[in-house]
Amino acid sequence: MEQNRFYYLLTKYRMSIFGLSAIWIFFRHTFFYNCFTYGLFDPIVRIGDCGVDVFLFLSSFGLYFSYKKNPVIKCFYKKRIIRILPTTIVLLLSFIDYSIDKWDINQLLSVKFWIGFIYSKYWFIGAILFLYFIYHFLCNMVMKRSNMMIFISIIIGFSGIFLVKMCHVEVLNQLVVYFARFPVFVLGIVFSNKLSLFENNKSIIALFLISIILLVSLPKDYSRKVYMFVVIFVIRYIPILLDKMPNIVNQFLAKIGKASLEFYLIHVALFSTGILSLVLSASTQTIAVLVSFFVVYVSSISFNKTFDLINKKLA
């Protein structure tokens, strides 16, 4: 009964949690690009990149049920590619980078990130496309050997981070964000395959408390590895909190969740071009954040609705 109730709430508020993770990342980037501070909320903001882990967990979690419903590989890949690539390319061309020498498809897909040591602020697009590409293999392996896949994913994550650190090449440091996120994507598949794992409340809370201690004691690159325990806690208990929220709050979050790809691309583009500094120069930090959030919210929702209409006409 508890399992059914949890699955019902997670399904109902899944898009709202996507929205929360997008907002979390947004605030993290205000700190990253302009060192904004938020007083007592600083510790939460500074681990806002955990929102990426929440997104990846929810993505692989939802993909499992979508894959089970329609295991045709061609349809699976077509749906994901249509959602990500056209949106990303159009935004890059029309809104984000105006000079052709500032971007190319290799950087977008992170090809140069791996072989040319080129920094890519849109690393997430390459990461999610790669994870989608190997999803079929991962899903089949998890269904056969879930415990082994968790172990292997953690080993890959730690080994990757260790090798990157051994290279001592500054630009390669961003590869850490790839390796650190691989285990949480696998965990999303494992938990979707075994929903009963969410019933281990004591274990989930204990791991969350341990992760808080590790987050403040481990170096940043390695502390990302314990985000997976934070994610499991968030996924387990946030739906309960959202169920007690006014409907208008969940509708607002769900709108952002639905447009989370656009929300991510647009705010990273604006922040990297210095909009926060520009607004801040004429106002306070609070105003700068509110104005930036409003611009990103309106533009991302508008782009998302436009892309939805185009996809429906092309379908």
Instruction: Output DSSP code: residue 283.
Output: S
Residue 129 near residue 57, CB atoms below 8 Å: no
Domain encompassing residue 7 = 2-314
Instruction: Output DSSP code: residue 259.
Output: T
| Number of domain units in the chain | 1
Structure confidence by residue, pLDDT tens digits, 5-20: 888 999 999 999 999 9
Helix locations, the chain, DSSP H: 2-34, 42-46, 50-69, 73-91, 105-108, 111-115, 123-133, 135-144, 146-167, 176-193, 201-217, 220-223, 227-242, 247-258, 260-272, 275-280, 285-314
Return phi, psi of residue 61, to 5°. -60, -50
Amino acid at 48: G
The average pLDDT across 103-125 equals 56
* pTM as predicted: 0.86
- How is residue 229 written in tokens? 């325990």
Residue 235 near residue 54, CB atoms below 8 Å: yes
pLDDT at 82 over 50: yes
Structure confidence by residue, pLDDT tens digits, 199-252: 889 999 999 999 988 888 887 777 888 899 999 999 999 999 999 999 999 999
